[in-house]
Amino acid sequence: MIKKLLFSFSLLIAANAFAQEQATISTNLQDAKTTINRNIYGMFSEHLGNGIYGGFWVDKNAKVPKVGRIRMDVVNALKKIDIPNLRWPGGCFADEYHWMDGIGDPAKRPKMVNTNWGGVTEDNSFGTNEFMELCKLLNTEPYVSGNLGSGTVKEMSNWVEYMNFDGVSPMTKLRKEDGRDKPYDVRFFAIGNESWGCGGNMTPEYYSDLFRQYATFTKSYKGAPLRRIASGANADDYHWTDVCMRDIPLNLMWGLSLHYYTIPTGNWGKKGSATNFTEAEYFNTMKNCLKMEELVTKHAAVMDKYDPQKKVALVVDEWGVWTDPIPGTNPSFLRQQNSMRDALIAATTLNIFNNHADRVRMANLAQTVNVLQSLVLTKGDDMLLTPTYYVFNMYKVHQDAKLLPLKISVPEYKNGDESIPAVNASASVDSLGRVHITLVNLDANNDITVSADLEGENHSSISGQILDSKNLTDVNSFSNKNLVITKKFDGAKMKQHTVTVTLPKHSVVCLEIK
């Protein structure tokens, strides 16, 4: 076992032919005490557009590998990246979803209107049991969002009983009639979603009172201690966080959520194109992405006032880039392409979450298939993996590893009169003593040379992976599925205690040091 390890990373950028800027990152293995909770790498799938229907759940006559109507090529791709949890059924949809409409004989289930996402008809063929089967096939943990906005206390209480109780009761009887004898043992359960907006347009004081009431009647059953997650703030609404932390007893609340989307333009009315943008627009997008660092820091500080022992998790259960939809598609279906820029957003955001692992213990990318910053796009019987998918595949090494806190000073990436940090990073050590460092170069124009001095025990090997592409606008398409994929990276060299590596412009690199 490595006793002590000291990294001193010198990041050098050529400012011109005669001068260089220098930046440093340092860490000590003795400080590796906080676990990066694997649930930070969670996913989100809502009844929205083709996220469920046409994504995970296909027509019975579709010519793709299936279990029932669950699409297995998508499932198998996601299994490879070890997604730890899947959030469902929403989103805004959650607070108009009545779970009993989605159980029993699919042919007899009532239909409903999905008022939030296009006014389309929801046939409820994908309900609780289908979702649980999907989670089983994915080998992932279910995270269920309960209906606070238009539901009742009894309805929510009954849903938890249906999923988790193993004794004799009306809800257990219903579950067994649906073909499931044993309970599902769901642990993660949200009480409402975006209660400040589509979940009810509530004040934080009113929501906190409702949470206390609903939480009282959502019970923990044997084998399934319920981790209740409160509907937290929209972006920088620190007042919402303050009221919830003040008014909700900490023993009722496992986590408090936070939602923040990277909007390229910063304008919700005209968000910007996913594939056609200038360097200035790219810079502004990354500046907005980096705001997550400020949000997590400040919300955590509010939580610390009431919870200095950090018992309550900050759950960022909706995050990602949100652009204008693909032209010609239903604008309410939120289908967007996924570029090299979006991979940099994902990698940067995950680095932020890793570095705040003392408080951020769960997060969910929005969304998994065909919606927003998805990992998978489908088109009929065909599918592809997006650049964001490959980021999650690289970063899975951090799951449940010990965080190596970084002291970091980096060069600036400048655009006009503005600047942002050119490099961000996170590092961890796993149970086998392997050190993983994920580095992101946001600079659109310059490669960055990293010199890493490792003091402590000798290391025998270094290897790496890289995700990059010629253009920031590059995407994987159905005519070219492998334009932006991870490749073996041989650009890192080790000599005694020194590692040198050059990060190509706008790239993501993951190093493994043994």
Distance CA 468, CA 479 (A): 19
Residue where the block lists tokens 């680095």: 351
In the annotation, is 177 catalytic?
A: no
Residue where the block lists tokens 């080790």: 494
80 token code pair: 């490879």
| Catalytic, out of 194, 293, 294, 455 | 194
Handedness of CA 94, 100, 102, 108 (dihedral sign): negative
Phi, psi of 210 (to 5 degrees): -65, -40
Q: Which residues of 411-441 are buried (b: 16+ CB within 10 A; e: fewer)?
A: bebebeeeebbbbbbbbbbbeeebbbbbbbb
Strand pairing report for 188-191 and 141-146:
parallel
3-state helix, strand and coil shares in percent for the chain, rounded to the nearest 5:
30, 30, 40
The gap from C-alpha 357 to its chain's centroid, in whole angstroms, comes to 14
| Catalytic, out of 318, 412, 418, 457 | 318
In the annotation, is 457 catalytic?
A: no
Q: Residues 359, 310: contact at Cβ < 8 Å?
A: yes
* Burial (CB count <10 Å: 0-12, 13-18, 19+), residue 66: middle
- C-alpha distances (whole Å) from 194 to each of 203, 256, 292 are 11, 11, 18
Question: Catalytic amino acids?
Answer: 194, 318
